[in-house]
């Protein structure tokens, strides 16, 4: 199996039923717009109905299904809407995330638990919502938006980084479980993308991408059938190299360039 064929390549988006979780802004909003422009039927979910409606516009193939990812009842209600309108989903993309830059001694337990609930816990609720139907049909796909912050322990990512590392691990588990059933699994590891989350950073962000650039990279990777979709390559390849270094050298580089 070639490195570009872990999943079945997507040759076209026409009439595909795509559920974008976290579609009110950032990468999720950009994905929703580009998918609609490419002929997909798109379900947009997040907490803010007004923002979702702004992204969806009056597009006839868009469905706004408002939900709080921390609320199980909201997931079930949104999925009922989807079943009534589109009779299911072909791909669910988990984009919702919370982020707070903080050193380990700055972590507030309550805030940490909420971030983990949004970034990780909600994905399990979403999977429990969509996987039974997908497994019965033996078709469908799941995409987890993690981050290069999950590659290694980086300063100021005391909770965010471990939450994204968990998603990387989960995507690998999902691929092992679901690929043989005919389902696609995508792990998406962006570098820095200009969103409300990264606006909280007070340091220079190398190779900063726009949400539209990120969405294009994601859809391109899906068309190629990739498992891990990471971008921009000029940045992520450097991090992958650092990830392979012995801890002594890695920690030296952290202290030299990131402390």
pLDDT at residue 2, rounded to an integer: 45
Residue 5 belongs to a domain: no
Q: Can you list the positions of beta strands (E) in the chain?
A: 17-21, 41-45, 62-64, 91-94, 141-145, 184-190, 228-231
Question: 205 lies in a domain?
Answer: yes
pTM of the full structure: 0.94
How many domains does the chain divide into? 1
> Three-state DSSP class for 112?
helix
pLDDT tens-digit series, residues 47-85: 999 999 999 999 999 999 999 999 999 999 999 999 999
Instruction: Give pLDDT, residue 200.
Output: 85
What count of residues does the chain have? 259
In a domain, 8, yes or no: no
Please report whether residue 215 resides in a domain. Answer: yes
Strand order in the sheet with 17-21: 62-64, 41-45, 17-21, 91-94, 141-145, 184-190, 228-231
Helix, strand, or coil (residue 13): coil
* Per-residue confidence (pLDDT) for residue 205, from 0 to 100: 78
Rounded distance, CA 217 to CA 211, Å?
10
Determine the 3-state secondary structure of 144 from DSSP. Answer: strand
* pLDDT of the chain, 259 residues: tens digit per residue: 444 479 999 999 999 999 999 999 999 999 999 999 999 999 999 999 999 999 999 999 999 999 999 999 999 999 999 999 999 999 999 999 999 999 999 999 999 999 999 999 999 999 999 999 999 999 999 999 999 999 999 889 999 999 999 999 999 999 999 999 999 999 999 998 988 877 787 777 788 899 999 999 999 999 999 999 999 999 999 999 999 999 999 899 888 877 6
Does residue 10 fall inside a structural domain?
A: no
CATH number of the domain that residue 204 is part of:
3.40.50.720
Residue 6, in any domain of the structure = no
The pLDDT, as a whole number, for residue 1 is 43
Residue 74 domain flag = yes
Q: Which domain holds residue 48?
A: 17-257
In a domain, 174, yes or no: yes
């Amino acid at each position: 199996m070639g490195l570009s064929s872990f999943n079945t390549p997507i040759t076209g988006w026409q009439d595909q039923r795509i559920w974008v979780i976290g579609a009110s802004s950032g990468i999720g909003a950009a994905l929703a717009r580009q998918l609609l422009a490419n002929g997909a039927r798109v379900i947009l979910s997040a907490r803010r109905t007004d923002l979702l409606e702004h992204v969806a516009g009056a597009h006839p193939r868009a469905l706004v299904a408002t939900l709080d990812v921390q609320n199980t009842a909201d997931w079930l209600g949104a999925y009922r809407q989807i079943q009534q309108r589109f009779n299911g989903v072909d791909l669910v993309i988990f984009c919702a995330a919370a982020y707070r830059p903080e050193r380990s001694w700055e972590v507030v337990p309550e805030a940490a638990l909420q971030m983990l609930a949004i970034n990780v816990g909600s994905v399990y609720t979403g999977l429990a919502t969509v996987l039974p139907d997908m497994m019965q049909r033996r078709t469908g796909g799941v995409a987890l938006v993690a981050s290069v912050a999950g590659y290694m322990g980086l300063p100021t990512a005391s909770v965010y980084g471990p939450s994204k590392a968990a998603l990387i691990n989960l995507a690998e588990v999902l691929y092992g479980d679901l690929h043989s059933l005919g389902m696609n699994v995508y792990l998406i590891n962006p570098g820095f993308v200009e969103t409300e989350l990264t606006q909280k950073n007070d340091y220079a962000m190398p190779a900063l991408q726009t949400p539209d650039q990120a969405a294009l990279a994601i859809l391109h990777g899906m068309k190629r059938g990739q498992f891990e979709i990471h971008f921009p390559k000029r940045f992520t390849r450097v991090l992958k190299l650092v990830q392979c270094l012995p801890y002594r050298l890695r920690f030296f580089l952290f202290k030299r360039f990131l402390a």
